[in-house]
Amino acid sequence: MRVRVHRLESGEPPRGRDDAAEGLTYFSVRVTVENRGDRPFCIHVEDGQIDVRTGPDGESALIDWRNSQFIEGFDVYPLRRATAVLYAAGPEAALSQVDVQVQLRVDEEWAGRRLWAGGVGVHEGATGAPAGAGRDSLAQQVSVFLQEQAEEGTA
C-alpha cells in the first residue's frame, strides 16, 4: 500500500464554513491510498486517523468533518486507488507550514503512521526564498522517506 498526501490548496469547503472556523483560512488536502500489492485490501481512512498541524509550533488545525470525505471500509483492488478529501482551517499566517499525519487501517490492522510536510503557497516562493527552495530540500527528503517506508510495508 502506498499513502500519498497531495494537492494542498486553499479554498472554501463545498457545504459552507463551520461556525468554529470564524477568522481562520480554509484549505483542503487529499490523501490517496494506492494498492501496489497482488490482492485486494479493505481500507479505512476516517476521522481520528488524520491529524493536521500548522505553523512552527504545530498547532492543531480545525478539521471540518462535515465537509470532508473519508474512506470507510472500501476494497481497493491491485493497481487501484481511493482518495479521501479533508477540509481544515487554521490561521492564515501558519499555513505556510502544514504537517499531515495519517494512520491507515488495512484489513482491520493498523499500519504505521505516515507524516507529510508542506504548506499552502510554498511552491510560490512566499517565504522570500527562491521558488521551490524549501520544497526541494525538506519536502523531497520527506517524500523519499515516505516512499521507502511504504515499500518496506509492502515487502
Q: Which residues of 88-99 are buried (b: 16+ CB within 10 A; e: fewer)?
A: bbbeeebbbbbb
Q: What is the pLDDT of residues 13-48, one digit of tens each?
A: 999 999 999 999 999 999 999 999 999 999 999 988
Between 95-99, 105-109, 134-138, the lowest mean confidence (pLDDT) is in: 134-138
Question: Which residue type is seen at 22?
Answer: E
C-alpha cell at 151: 515499500
For residue 71, list its beta bridge partners. 45
Global confidence as pTM: 0.75
CATH domain 2-154 topology: Immunoglobulin-like (2.60.40)
Question: Domain extents for the chain?
Answer: 2-154
* DSSP sequence for 10-25: E---TT---GGGTT-E
The residue-averaged pLDDT of 104-119 equals 93
